[in-house]
C-alpha cells in the first residue's frame, strides 16, 4: 500500500458487530483499512484520538430542513448535525411547498429539484419526497425518481396533508414493483380530530398537559396497523416513522411476519421523555405524535432489543419559541429540534443507563438506517466505505445548553439535561467538519447521495 492521507489512531473502533482497538486508514475520502497502526504506510496526517471511541458517522433518516415547518437552512441544519456526529441526513422534499406557499400544480420532481438547487450543507444528504396529493401523475413520477437515486417516499394519514388508505395502497403497489420504500406518519385522522375537540372543551383543556389525550396511542396504533397491512398486501417495503407507544409497536410487530418488509423507527425524544414534559416545558415540547408514558418508553426499548424497531432518528423540526408559545397548545406548531443532541442523549440513556452495547448503538443509529435506505457506503467502518467517522468520548459528563445551538431554533427540550458522552470530532469523507462543537468545514462540502434500492433480507 502506498502512502495514505490520514490515519486515526489510539482509539477503539466500534462497528455493528464488535469493538476493536485499531487505527483507521483513510485515503481520498475512503476507508482503506482497519488494523494495528504498524500495518499502515506513512500518512500525511496522523490523528491520535487519545483513547476515545471511533464510531461510524450517524445516519439520520428523518429530518426537516429548508421546508415546511422548518426554520433551518441546509447550512444551519447540517452544522447542528455535524456538531452532533451526524454525517448523513435524509430530508423531506414536500410536494407543492415553496418558501411558505403551497403550489397545487407542483410535482414530486419539482420538490426534489428545489432542494438540490439550494442545498449547501457541510454533511452529505438524501431526500424523501412527500406525497401530498392523490393523482395518477404522482404514481407516474415514481420510476424516474427511483432511477435518479431517490428511493423512498413519505405519506401522511392525518392533518391537512393526509392521503386516503385507498391511495396509500395504490402507492405501495407501485413501490413494490419498483423495490422502493414507503414511509408513513400514522395517526387516525378522525380519532385525532374528535379527541382534540373533546379535550379542548374540558375544564383543564387549555393546559399543554392535556395535549397527549388529543392524539391517543390507539389512534397511532390503528393507523400503524392499517398501513402496515396495506404494505404487506402489496408486498412493498414499509418503514413506520416515529413510533411512540407500546400499542403502535405491537401493531407493527403483528404485521412483520418474517420481518423482511416491515421496518420501523422511534426517535430520541420518545426514548427519554414522558408526557410529564408538557407540564414542565408547555408548548415548547409539543410534537406529533405526542410523548407517552414511562411504560411506553420501557416498551420502546424492548422493541429496540427485539428488532421490531430498528432505527433511532431525530425527527428534527427546528422552530422558534415564537411559533410555539403565546397561545393554547392547539395553536402551537408541531416539532422539536434534536440533531445536535441525539447521539449523546441516546448514548446516555441506552448505553449508560440501560446497558445497551456500543455495537447495538452503532447498529441503531448508523448501520441500520444506512442499510434500510440504500446507502451502502455509509454507517460502517470497513475498507471501501466513506470515511464518515465520529470521535466520541464515552465518559465525559456535562450539561446540555441551548446557547450552543447551531440550528436556528432558539431553544432545546434537552436544555439543562446532564448527559454522559460527548462528540469530539466529526469527519465526512475524511474531512474534519466539526471539532469540539465548532464547525470547521465550509458550506457545500456535503453532497447529495444517490441511493440504491435497498435489499431488506
Tell me how far apart the alpha carbons of residues 171 and 190 are, in angstroms, rounded to a whole number: 22
Q: How far is residue 229 CA from its own chain's centroid? A: 24
Count Cβ atoms within 10 A of the Cβ of residue 21 and give its class: 0-12 exposed, 13-18 middle, 19 or more buried. exposed
Query: Residue-wise pLDDT tens for the chain (457 aa)?
Result: 679 999 999 999 999 999 999 999 999 999 999 999 999 999 999 999 999 999 999 999 999 999 999 999 999 999 999 999 999 999 999 999 987 889 989 999 999 999 999 999 999 999 999 999 999 999 999 999 999 999 999 999 999 999 999 999 999 999 999 999 999 999 999 999 999 999 999 999 999 999 999 999 999 999 999 999 999 999 999 999 999 999 999 999 999 977 779 999 999 999 999 999 999 999 999 999 999 999 999 999 999 999 999 999 999 999 999 999 989 999 999 999 999 999 999 999 999 999 999 999 999 999 999 999 999 999 999 999 999 999 999 999 999 999 999 999 999 999 999 999 999 999 999 999 999 999 999 999 999 999 999 999 7
Distance CA 404, CA 419 (A): 15
Task: Please give the grid coordinates belonging to residue 71.
Answer: 426554520
Q: Give the span between the Cα atoms of 294 and 105, in whole angstroms.
A: 45
Instruction: Confirm or reject CATH 3.60.20.30 for domain 57-372, answering yes or no.
Output: no
CA atoms within 13 A on the CB side of 273: 25
Residues for the chain: how many in total?
Answer: 457
CB atoms within 10 A of CB 161: 20
CA distance linking residue 381 with residue 51, whole number of Å: 17
Name the DSSP letter for residue 90: E
| Set of cell numbers at residue 52 | 476515545
Report the candidate in 404, 401, 446 with the shortest Cα–Cα distance to residue 419. Answer: 401
Residue ranges of domains in the chain: 57-372
Amino acid at each position: 500500500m502506498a502512502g495514505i492521507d490520514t490515519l486515526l489512531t489510539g482509539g477503539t473502533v466500534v462497528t455493528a458487530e464488535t469493538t476493536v482497538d485499531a487505527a483507521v486508514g483513510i485515503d481520498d475520502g475512503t476507508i482503506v483499512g482497519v488494523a494495528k497502526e504498524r500495518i499502515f504506510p506513512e500518512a500525511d496526517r496522523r490523528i491520535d484520538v487519545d483513547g476515545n471511541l471511533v464510531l461510524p458517522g450517524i445516519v439520520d433518516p428523518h429530518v426537516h430542513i429548508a421546508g415546511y415547518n422548518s426554520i433551518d437552512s441546509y447550512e444551519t441544519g447540517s452544522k447542528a448535525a455535524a456538531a452532533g456526529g451526524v454525517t448523513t441526513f435524509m430530508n423531506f422534499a414536500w410536494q407543492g411547498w415553496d418558501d411558505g406557499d403551497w403550489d397545487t400544480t407542483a410535482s414530486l420532481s419539482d420538490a426534489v429539484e428545489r432542494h438540490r438547487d439550494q442545498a449547501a450543507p457541510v454533511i452529505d444528504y438524501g431526500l424523501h419526497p412527500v406525497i401530498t396529493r392523490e393523482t395518477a401523475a404522482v404514481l407516474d413520477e415514481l420510476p424516474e425518481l427511483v432511477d435518479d437515486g431517490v428511493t423512498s417516499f413519505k405519506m401522511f394519514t392525518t392533518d391537512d396533508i393526509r392521503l386516503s388508505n385507498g391511495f396509500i395502497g395504490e402507492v405501495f403497489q407501485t413501490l413494490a414493483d419498483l423495490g422502493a420504500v414507503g414511509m408513513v406518519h400514522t395517526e387516525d385522522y378522525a380519532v385525532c380530530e374528535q379527541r382534540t375537540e373533546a379535550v379542548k372543551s374540558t375544564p383543564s383543556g387549555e393546559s399543554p398537559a392535556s395535549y397527549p389525550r388529543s392524539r391517543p396511542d390507539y389512534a397511532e396504533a390503528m393507523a400503524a396497523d392499517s398501513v402496515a397491512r396495506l404494505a404487506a398486501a402489496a408486498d412493498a417495503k414499509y418503514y413506520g416513522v416515529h413510533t411512540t407507544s407500546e400499542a403502535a409497536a405491537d401493531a407493527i410487530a403483528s404485521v412483520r411476519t418474517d420481518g423482511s418488509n416491515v421496518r420501523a423507527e422511534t426517535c430520541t425524544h420518545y426514548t427519554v421523555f414522558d408526557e410529564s414534559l408538557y407540564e414542565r416545558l408547555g408548548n415548547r415540547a409539543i410534537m406529533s405524535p405526542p410523548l407517552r408514558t414511562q411504560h411506553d418508553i420501557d416498551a420502546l426499548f424492548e422493541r429496540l432489543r427485539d428488532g421490531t424497531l430498528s432505527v433511532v432518528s431525530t425527527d428534527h423540526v427546528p422552530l422558534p419559541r415564537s411559533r410555539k408559545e403565546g397561545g393554547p397548545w392547539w395553536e402551537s406548531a408541531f416539532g422539536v429540534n434534536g440533531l445536535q443532541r441525539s447521539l449523546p442523549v441516546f448514548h446516555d440513556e441506552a448505553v449508560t443507563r440501560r446497558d445497551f452495547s456500543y455495537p447495538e448503538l452503532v447498529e441503531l443509529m448508523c448501520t441500520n438506517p444506512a442499510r434500510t435506505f440504500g446507502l451502502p457506503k455509509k454507517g460502517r467502518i470497513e475498507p471501501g466505505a466513506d470515511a464518515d467517522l465520529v470521535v466520541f468520548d464515552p465518559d465525559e459528563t456535562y450539561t446540555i445548553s441551548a446557547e450552543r445551538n447551531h440550528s436556528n431554533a432558539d431553544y432545546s427540550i434537552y436544555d439543562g439535561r446532564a448527559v454522559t458522552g460527548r462528540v469530539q470530532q466529526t469527519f465526512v469523507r475524511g474531512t474534519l467538519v466539526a471539532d469540539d462543537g465548532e464547525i470547521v468545514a465550509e458550506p457545500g462540502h456535503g453532497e447529495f447521495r444517490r441511493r440504491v434500492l435497498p435489499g431488506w433480507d
